[in-house]
Amino acid sequence: MNAWLIAPVALPLFAAILSLALRTRVRFQRIVSVCANAAALSIALALFNAVRTDGVLVLQLGSWPAPFGITFVADLFSAIMLVLSGLMGLAVAVYGLATMDEARERHGYHMLFHVLMMGVNGAFLTGDLFNLYVWFEVMLMASFVLLSLGGERAQLEGAIKYVALNFLSSALFLAGVGILYGISGTLNMADLSQVLAQPAHQGIINMISMLFLVAFGIKAALFPLFFWLPASYHTPPHPVSAIFAGLLTKVGVYALIRVFTLVFRQDVAFTHQIILILAAFTMVTGVLGAAAQMDIRRILSFHIVSQIGYMVMGLGLFTELALAGSVFYIMHHIIVKTNLFLVAGVVQRLAGSNELKKIGGVYRAAPWLAVLFLVPALSLAGIPPLSGFFAKLTLIVDALRGGSWAMAAVALSVGLLTLFSMTKIWNEVFWKPAPEGKPTLPLAAIPVRERIALLLPIIVLATCTVCIGLGSGWMFDLARQTAEQLLDPRDYVTAVLGVTEAP
């Protein structure tokens, strides 16, 4: 199974090349898109299964032994992220069949989508810090073009801010990699974990870790580095913002968790305390940002920021339970968030807008869509027994057990404010009658084939949310095992380097 580790990167690359070759044949591009994403999901599931049964998988690219070449590693955390990215890729690819305009498809939408997935998967799999940088660049370029493709004024305005702040992140990341290589002589994360494990020179290691914290913090949209996200996510077509919302910031969170559990773990009392404080501010500022918005996607965008705070909170608390909470939160959040953006797209289709003031009556016109909105929306707000509740519960139980009263209070009250935002959407979009003379269309007004393409992904993702909630026992065990691996990286290091030096 080890050799298959390259597949999540190679497959989208081939699909991208194929899409490029089929540039004018939009129909074939669509088929390629759905097939490639379905295949990616299957491979991800197979890898996940292999990791669960056989432990950490490793592929030394070019067969160069570990710290010298590039290593691909799949531990449970990576494997889970791969499955999630596969699922989101497929869901959005199917959804895109009914929403993307041909002009964008002709000009490379599908190609860019594949490249984006390649970058995302690469970031989840690589065990090499510079290689991670490369995947970030791949993601950044693909997402920038996707964001601006179509050239609408709002899109370009958002895209400029997006790319400027993300380039800054890249620069800091690169500086961090360079300096870290300078003191440690290696780029392999498992190797770094060993080299940095010595007690000396903690000061410079902490300073370097701050470069990574800010670089990844920008990617993850932490406070006060999140500006690019609310500036841009509401501008592109819905499938694009859905895949961005689901995956991009989570790659940042993934990188934060990876680096701050594997590489920078010597001075937890300092580094992780800073992370914890940033997490608290991220939660609060994000949710307040959402309370001030009156557009579905803008509300949802600010909620991404706020939810990132929860995921990072687990890292900041740095116990096994808290990390399990983070992992659970990521699993829950990616599905729910993508789904909400997908629902927003259907609302746009039926009511003609995403602005709360201009629309209404969706509950009356499309009651099933209302149900499909409620599942992810309530899950996001942490209403039991949906997935989000258990993610929050885990974090709050841990915070209260460890005496982090302020964090628990923040996590709880941000949950209430999230509920407030979700009910705002529900009130204005679903319950409120449609404005005079602008009736909301029923679902039946969408042609059958498009309706299936739109609703099927939403239904599947909503089902996942319910199942994660009801099967939270199983999911929690998985998250717990993942957290165990993260907290004790010996398996990871041994798998990559073959043998471990004595600590």
Q: Can residue 141 be called a binding residue for another protein (CB under 8 A)?
A: yes
Q: Tokens in use for 187?
A: 């780029």
Report residue 293 as tokens.
């918005």
The answer to whether 84 touches 31, Cβ cutoff 8 Å, is no
Taking CB under 8 A as the criterion, the residue among 134, 268, 443, 452 binding another protein is 134
Residues 159-198 that bind another protein (CB under 8 A): 160-161, 164-165, 168, 172, 175, 179, 181-187, 195-196, 198
C-alpha closest to that of 341 among 249, 233, 413, 418: 233
Number of residues lying near another protein (CB under 8 A): 116
Which class for 46: exposed (0-12), middle (13-18), buried (19 or more C-beta within 10 A)? middle
Contacting another protein within 471-500 (CB under 8 A)? 472-473, 476-477, 480
Say whether residue 344 binds another protein (CB under 8 A).
no
| 309 interacts with another protein by CB under 8 A | no
Contact status: 228 vs another protein (CB under 8 A): yes
Angle at 175 between CA 173 and CA 180, to 5 degrees: 95
Using CB under 8 A as the binding rule, whether residue 210 contacts another protein is answered as yes
Q: Minimum distance from CB of 409 to another protein (Å)?
A: 8
**Could you say whether residue 285 binds another protein (CB under 8 A)?**
yes
Output 95 or 430, the one with its CB closest to another protein: 430
Rule CB under 8 A: say whether 142 interacts with another protein. yes
Q: Please give the residues from 36 up to 65 whose contact with another protein meets the rule CB under 8 A.
A: 61-62, 64
Single residue of 7, 43, 98, 218 touching another protein by CB under 8 A? 218
Q: How far is the CB of 344 from another protein (least distance, A)?
A: 18
Q: How far is the CB of 333 from another protein (least distance, A)?
A: 18
Residues 422-451 that bind another protein (CB under 8 A): 423, 427, 431-433
Contact assessment for residue 407 and residue 317, using Cβ atoms and an 8 Å cutoff: yes
3-state secondary structure of 279: helix
Exposure on the CB side of residue 254, measured as CA atoms within 13 A: 33
* Touching another protein, residues 104-123 (CB under 8 A): 104, 107-108, 111-112, 115, 118-119, 122
Please say which residue, 70 or 91, places its beta carbon nearer to another protein: 70
Q: Please select the residue that binds another protein; options are 48, 77, 124, 135, rule is CB under 8 A.
A: 135
How far apart CA 438 and CA 361 sit, in angstroms, is 10
Compute the least distance from the CB of residue 454 to another protein, in Å: 21
Burial of 276 (0-12, 13-18, 19+ CB in 10 A): buried
Helix-strand-coil split of the chain, %, nearest 5:
80, 5, 20
> 457: cis peptide before it, omega within 30°?
no
